[in-house]
Amino acid sequence: MSAYNRGTELDLSWISKIQVNHPAVLRRAEQIQARRTVKKEWQAAWLLKAVTFIDLTTLSGDDTSSNIQRLCYKAKYPIREDLLKALNMHDKGITTAAVCVYPARVCDAVKALKAAGCNIPVASVATGFPAGQTHLKTRLEEIRLAVEDGATEIDVVINRSLVLTGQWEALYDEIRQFRKACGEAHLKTILATGELGSLTNVYKASMIAMMAGSDFIKTSTGKETVNATFPVAIVMLRAIRDFFWKTGNKIGFKPAGGIRSAKDSLAWLSLVKEELGDEWLKPELFRIGASTLLSDIERQIYHHVTGRYAAYHDLPMS
């Protein structure tokens, strides 16, 4: 991943002027959902590209070192090798973009990836994930410990109450402290958009997060009632575009939560391509947070190669 975002000064005059045109956003979202997807060879190519954007994730209370090891193996070998050979893609080094785990499992992930002989980044959630309702001192320490254990990307959650009560300066200051605690690790800021109340708040929170030094803005924890949706994504992507036009800094985007099918992943790739352009379609600027998506992508690749759908036992667990 490229050099991290050092942030800018807080510009509250910019924040105060923001107003989102809700009906226009919904119309744009409907266009994306109604569009026909690509087919055959084009679809296979786009699905393999989608694999390289996945932050392969496990965030369960019953995570153990053995299933972290399995996750890391799947991150290195996301698609069965015989399927890649059939597509002449076996020597292209296709892996997922990262693995994402709880802070206590970072050591397990680092160890497993080292044993597998690959340098896939380890991302850790932090700052009282998923609610963000712990003391600031505790949240900052959680970041530092994850970085010490070898995490090179930190997915932090914001304190939603600061957005809902319009405390933009406090939100900026908090994320600045997260940025400092990350050191050289990259900062991905989860906005938990389903709990922010309005699309205008989503835009403002996106802008504050970028001003404060976030390398990525991320839709959701995956634990909210409403996770990644197209209306929210459109607002966040346009905030990223506006920030780029104003500062020259490219900030990444990560939808997460509820993205389970290969067809879903293609729609997300199309949206990013149309809103931000091809230069954002690389792992340094686009990620998909998912735990089950990879299984469906591999199933669709299997169908493309063999002409039939895989039985459950045909594909290794992810």
218 catalytic per annotation: yes
The answer to whether 253 and 214 are in contact (CB under 8 A) is: no
Catalytic-labelled residue, pool 76, 188, 204, 218:
218
The answer to whether 80 and 294 are in contact (CB under 8 A) is: no
Structure tokens at 152: 């090179």
SS3 call for 156: strand
Catalytic-labelled residue, pool 254, 263, 273, 282:
254
Residue 200 Cα to chain centre, angstroms: 21
Length of the chain: 318
- The C-alpha atoms of residue 98 and residue 77 are separated, in whole angstroms, by 12
DSSP string, 100-153: EE-GGGHHHHHHHHHHTT--PPEEEEESSTTTT-S-HHHHHHHHHHHHHTT-SE
Give the relative orientation of helices 262-276 and 22-34 as an angle to the nearest 10 degrees: 130
Cis peptide before 103 (omega within 30 of 0): no
Task: Give 186's strand partners.
Answer: 153
The answer to whether 212 and 175 are in contact (CB under 8 A) is: yes
DSSP string, 79-105: S-HHHHHHTT-TTS----SEEEE-GGG
Strand order in the sheet with 54-57: 252-254, 216-218, 186-190, 153-157, 122-126, 98-101, 54-57, 288-290
Structure tokens at 156: 């932090």
- The C-alpha atoms of residue 38 and residue 44 are separated, in whole angstroms, by 9
204 catalytic per annotation: no
Q: Catalytic amino acids? A: 218, 254
